[in-house]
């Protein structure tokens, strides 16, 4: 099988093409030869197999493979297509990737690391050329990690949040477009282990399709932040008017409110535990009463609450508090008709 250099012997060198571009006399019609190619990435992870196939990781998900011709110093002098070496299934690599796609080879030889970087850069540029405007917008915003456009679908890996530099400490989205809608999943949620409700909300949102990649990402970002902020707001509303003795400040999954009720001459003290679900505010929080200093929780029937997800947190907290306050005597009465007091 002929090499890249042999197949493209008629194509001017990378330096010559750059000079002609400066003179406004481009010879190469392939868009990959132009200066629009993204800057070379940091050296990607790669390996050289025993049969001299250079296998390069792309976006930590796909593998690009080229068969290498090496010199005595283990530097690359030329490349040959590897079987199924391109994740998009390209069967005409000579046409798609002219010699200028590997500028590191222009002097004659190049280290494996430089060729690997060229391979990732040129493949990424080719995929962007084939992708839609929404994916190109992700690239401009700096969140796109990788994209593969094949005949039947488009696959994307990107950061959920825009950041100055890619980070492995924040959520990553893996999306697929099947010709009708975008579907995907959220990865790298290890940081959310202390945020079980936030994690559950995000995973629920990820299962819903969206007409565009940007809309899917917007829903994911909303699920990762909105639920926690709503729970936090209700906990704060309780604290503004009542005594909150304990609150989960990580995920705001629960808070404990001190209740006191006077019956005749007896002052009853107990704890109200407000327990949230990932569906809050669509679903009301679950309320539990416990005698102060006791160990047994008494669950209140949600069907008896006065509750609406459309209420503001001030009214919501007051209605929930008043309902629990009114249930203290009926819930915490002892079998003999006495009450634990404080």
CA distance 60 to 57: 6
What does the DSSP 8-state code read for residue 132? -
CA distance 117 to 10: 24
* Under 8 Å between Cβ of 157 and 183: no
DSSP string, 85-118: -STT--S-HHHHS-GGG-GGGTTS-B-HHHHHHH
CA angle 112, 115, 116 (to 5 degrees): 85
Give this prediction's pTM. 0.76
Q: For residue 8, what pLDDT is reported?
A: 52
> Domain 230-332, what fold?
Ubiquitin Conjugating Enzyme (3.10.110)
Q: For residue 17, what pLDDT is reported?
A: 39
* Strands 46-48 and 53-58, sheet pairing: antiparallel
- Listed by start position, the domains of the chain span 4-122, 133-227, 230-332
Tokens matching residue 272:
């109200």
Closest CA to 104 of 15, 10, 6, 1: 15
Q: For residue 169, what pLDDT is reported?
A: 72
Closest CA to 177 of 140, 143, 210: 210
Q: For residue 137, what pLDDT is reported?
A: 95
* Under 8 Å between Cβ of 94 and 81: yes
* Under 8 Å between Cβ of 158 and 172: yes
Q: How far is C-alpha 8 from the geometric centre of its chain's CA atoms?
A: 40
Tokens matching residue 53:
């196939």
* Under 8 Å between Cβ of 173 and 157: yes
DSSP string, 27-85: ----GGGSTTSPPPPSPPPEEE-TT-EEEEEETTTEEEEEEEEE-TTS-EEEEEEPTT-
Q: For residue 32, what pLDDT is reported?
A: 34
DSSP string, 2-36: --HHHHTTTSPPHHHHHHHHHTT------GGGSTT
| Owner of token pair 């190049």 | 110
pLDDT tens per residue across all 342 residues of the chain: 666 665 555 444 333 433 443 444 333 333 333 323 444 456 899 999 999 999 999 999 999 999 999 999 999 999 999 999 999 999 889 889 988 899 999 999 999 999 999 999 999 999 999 999 999 999 999 999 999 999 889 999 999 998 766 566 789 999 999 989 999 999 988 766 789 999 999 999 999 999 999 999 999 999 999 999 999 999 999 999 999 999 999 999 999 999 998 877 788 899 999 999 999 999 999 999 998 888 899 999 999 999 999 999 999 999 999 999 999 988 876 554 444 544
CA distance 99 to 94: 8
Q: For residue 29, what pLDDT is reported?
A: 35
CA torsion sign, 279 to 313 to 194 to 143? positive
Q: For residue 236, what pLDDT is reported?
A: 97
């Amino acid at each position: 099988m002929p090499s890249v250099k042999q197949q493209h012997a008629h194509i001017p060198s990378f330096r010559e093409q750059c000079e002609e571009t400066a003179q406004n006399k481009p010879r190469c019609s392939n868009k990959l030869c132009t200066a629009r190619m993204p800057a070379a990435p940091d050296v990607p992870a790669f390996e050289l197999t025993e049969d001299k196939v250079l296998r390069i990781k792309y976006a930590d998900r796909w593998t690009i493979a080229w068969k290498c011709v090496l010199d005595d110093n283990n530097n690359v002098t030329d490349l040959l297509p590897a079987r199924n070496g391109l994740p998009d299934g390209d069967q005409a690599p000579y046409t798609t990737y002219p010699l200028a796609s590997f500028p590191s080879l222009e002097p004659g030889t190049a280290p494996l690391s430089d060729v690997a970087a060229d391979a990732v850069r040129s493949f990424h540029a080719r995929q962007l050329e084939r992708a839609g405007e929404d994916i190109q917008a992700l690239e401009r915003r700096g969140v796109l990690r990788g994209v593969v456009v094949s005949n039947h679908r488009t696959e994307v890996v990107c950061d959920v949040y825009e950041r100055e530099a890619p980070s492995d400490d924040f959520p990553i989205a893996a999306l697929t477009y099947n010709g009708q809608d975008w579907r995907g999943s959220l990865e790298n949620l290890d940081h959310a282990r202390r945020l079980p409700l936030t994690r559950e909300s995000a995973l629920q949102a990820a299962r819903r399709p969206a007409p565009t990649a940007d809309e899917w990402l917007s829903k994911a970002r909303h699920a990762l932040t909105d639920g926690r902020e709503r729970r936090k707001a209700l906990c704060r509303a309780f604290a503004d008017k009542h005594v909150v003795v304990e609150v989960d400040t990580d995920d705001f999954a629960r808070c404990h409110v001190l209740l006191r009720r006077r019956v005749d001459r007896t002052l009853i003290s107990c704890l109200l535990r407000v327990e949230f679900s990932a569906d809050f505010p669509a679903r009301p929080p679950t309320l539990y009463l416990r005698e102060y200093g006791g160990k047994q929780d008494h669950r209140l029937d949600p069907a008896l609450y006065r509750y609406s997800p459309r209420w503001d947190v001030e009214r919501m907290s007051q209605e929930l508090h008043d309902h629990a306050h009114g249930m203290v005597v009926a819930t915490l009465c002892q079998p003999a008709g006495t009450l634990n007091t404080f």
